[in-house]
Amino acid sequence: MVDGWKERLTTYTDKSGQVRERRSRIDVMMRVRGFYLDIQEWAHDDPFWAQWAVPSPITRGDGAGNHKIIAQVHSRMHQRVRERLPHLPVLLETAERVRRETAALLEAARATPFEEVFEHEGTRYLRILPKVNQIPSRLDHGSQHVYIKEVDSTGRRINQSIVEDDAFWAWAAIETLRHTGVRAEELTELTHLALVSYKLPDTSEVVPLLQIVPSKSNEERLLLVSPELASVLATIVKRLRDANDGKIPLVARYDHHERITGPQLPHLFQRRPYWQAQVLNETSIKRLLDRTLVATGLRDAAGEPLRYTPHDFRRMFATEAVTGGLPVHIAARILGHKTLTTTQAYLAVFQDDLVRTYRGFLDRRRADRPQEEYREPTEQEWRDFQQHFELRKVSLGICGRPYGTPCKHEHACIRCPVLQVDPRQRPRLIEIIQNLRERIREARGNGWLGEVEGLQVSLDAATAKLNSLSRAPADGRPQLVDLGMPLFTD
């Protein structure tokens, strides 16, 4: 029974029905092992637990390989950052562009009367009057949401107010995550009260700070607000105030982890999609992020759509901060980590030290070499260089000798080991082999033994090249080699 449970624990079935490897299987087994060991410890103090004190079905050997799995997790984490960090500017530019375009389309639609057509960016739209607003008592009050529809298509109507709202909060979430490195839960907990100021004791300069309330690590921390982050937060505050008569509404946030509803606070990441304001949750942020990624059209190395998670911005923030010169222990305090080991696991190593050291080695080696070696080539040298690669082309393929070296085989290409035979020239090679055999028979018949020896060397070289072509597959893929079955003797 235990062996069957261990075997079932190695895999799981996802929502799409695919069987995948369970990466946390060793963690699960170690929890079970710890529970059995705890029962044995409790039995020493309380006899009630003695009836349950049995040997643990999870042995010490079942936890072997946990360090390897942790190393693999860190490797995948670093690879995610290496893949996504170069595409971050595209994501930021797309989020800003979509925000501007949706806001411009919303303004154009609001300026158009109901049931009239307007044109925006070369596309004709019709502003729709919802049926609920067609009641005479509500007709004068207008509609809170703006509905439009493309005239030249038969598509469904679009609530442009919601589309613009989604684009704005997607941009706000992406910018805040990348400038602060906070967790998704901490992002949803940000309030207007978290913006505080601090006066430096030496210069009396007032600097803005962002207070991060205790979440995962139950530790409060303060982040220095950069000018870029200050611009984003100011835009969020202005949007909330403009929509609520100059005030930020007090909204209660529901904590999905603690299963409790918090007090009413002026949360920054709140929106009013319909009739009641609500605070964005982690699922909403992921959904907005996915929509922005669809607009980017980014693909990974496998050709699949590139996916970001809110935690990817936290890893990229740590990587950029440390590679930019920030000490690791300061980055740990900013990220709210209790140990440096956790912060170091977040850092995607791009091997900058290795690159800088190697470049320094090249600079020193170049400094020791004569300066005349770095001069511009003359026209004659450039013509000789081009002529060398033209002379490498022969009837059977390409000569692989390096530039500046003479032909050591006196242009007897069939004997040369550096000849790279083109697979398309296989029929020509077969004709050469047949011709060599006929010439050998003719030379033997006439008694030209010296000629026979030279022709035999050419025939052996040509036969070896033909056998090499036969072993190499035509599509370039590696070929399986039959090693045979081993023989066992008494």
pLDDT tens for 104-139 read 999 999 998 888 888 888 888 888 887 766 555 544
The token duo for 176 is 């805040």
Domain boundaries, the chain: 2-64, 396-471
> In this structure, is the dihedral angle defined by the CA atoms of residues 313, 318, 319 and 320, taken in order, positive or negative?
positive
Q: Mean pLDDT across the chain, nearest whole number?
A: 81
* Confidence check: pLDDT of 374 > 70: no
Q: What is the pLDDT of residue 356?
A: 67
Q: What does the pLDDT average to over 176-200?
A: 88
Q: Provide the 8-state DSSP code for 195.
A: E
Percent pLDDT > 90 in the chain is 17
Q: Give residue 173's pLDDT.
A: 94
Question: Largest Cα–Cα distance in the chain?
Answer: 120
Which pLDDT value is given to residue 288?
93
Going along 67-220, which residue ranges are E strands?
Answer: 117-120, 123-128, 147-150, 158-159, 195-199, 206-212
Is 170:289 a contact under the CB 8 Å cutoff? yes
Rg over alpha carbons for the chain, rounded to the nearest Å, is 36
Under a CB-based contact definition with an 8 Å cutoff, are residues 148 and 163 in contact?
no
- Dist CA 353 CA 4 (whole Å): 48
**Which pLDDT score, from 0 to 100, does residue 141 have?**
45
How much is the average pLDDT of 399-428? Answer: 77
φ and ψ at residue 286, rounded to 5 degrees: -65, -40
Give me the mean pLDDT over the 18-26 stretch: 81
**Lowest-confidence pick of 214-223, 271-280, 419-428:** 214-223
Q: How far apart are CA 342 and CA 337, in angstroms?
A: 7
Check pLDDT > 80 for residue 371. Answer: no
Residue 386 structure tokens:
């081009």
Q: What is the mean pLDDT of residues 29-42?
A: 89
Q: What is the model's pLDDT at position 8? A: 85
Please check the confidence at residue 490 and state whether its pLDDT lies above 70: no
Q: Is the pLDDT of residue 262 over 60?
A: yes
Quick one: which of 417, 427, 423 has its CA closest to 457?
A: 417
pLDDT digits (tens, 9 = 90+) for 93-105: 999 999 999 999 9
| Per-residue pLDDT tens over the stretch 328-346 | 778 888 888 877 777 777 7
> Which range, of 28-32, 85-89, 200-204, averages the lowest pLDDT?
200-204
Q: What is the pLDDT, as a whole number, of residue 487?
A: 67
Tokens describing residue 186? 């901490």
* pLDDT for position 139: 47
Q: How confident is the model at residue 421 (pLDDT cuts 50, 70, 90)?
A: confident
- pTM, two decimals, is 0.63
Length of the chain: 490
pLDDT higher than 60, residue 310 = yes
pLDDT confidence of 172, banded at 50, 70, 90?
Answer: very high
Looking at the predicted structure, is the pLDDT value of residue 417 above 60?
yes
Residue predicted with more confidence, 256 or 106: 106
pLDDT at 47: 86
Q: Give the model's pLDDT for residue 39.
A: 92
Whole-number pLDDT of residue 142: 45
Could you give the percent of the chain with pLDDT greater than 70? Answer: 86
Lowest-confidence region among 145-159, 244-258, 345-359, 401-415: 345-359
The contacts found for 242-251 with CB under 8 angstroms, 24 or more apart, are: 243/272, 248/192, 249/277, 251/277, 251/278, 251/279
- Nearest residue to 9 (alpha-carbon basis) of 17, 18, 19: 19
Contact 120, 104 (CB under 8 A): yes
pLDDT band at 73 (very low <50, low <70, confident <90, very high): confident
* Rounded Cα–Cα distance for residues 460 and 466 (Å): 10
pLDDT of residue 267: 92
More confident residue, 405 or 194: 194
Q: How far apart are CA 23 and CA 72, in angstroms?
A: 10
Q: Which two tokens stand for residue 131?
A: 């049926």
What pLDDT shows up at residue 140? 45
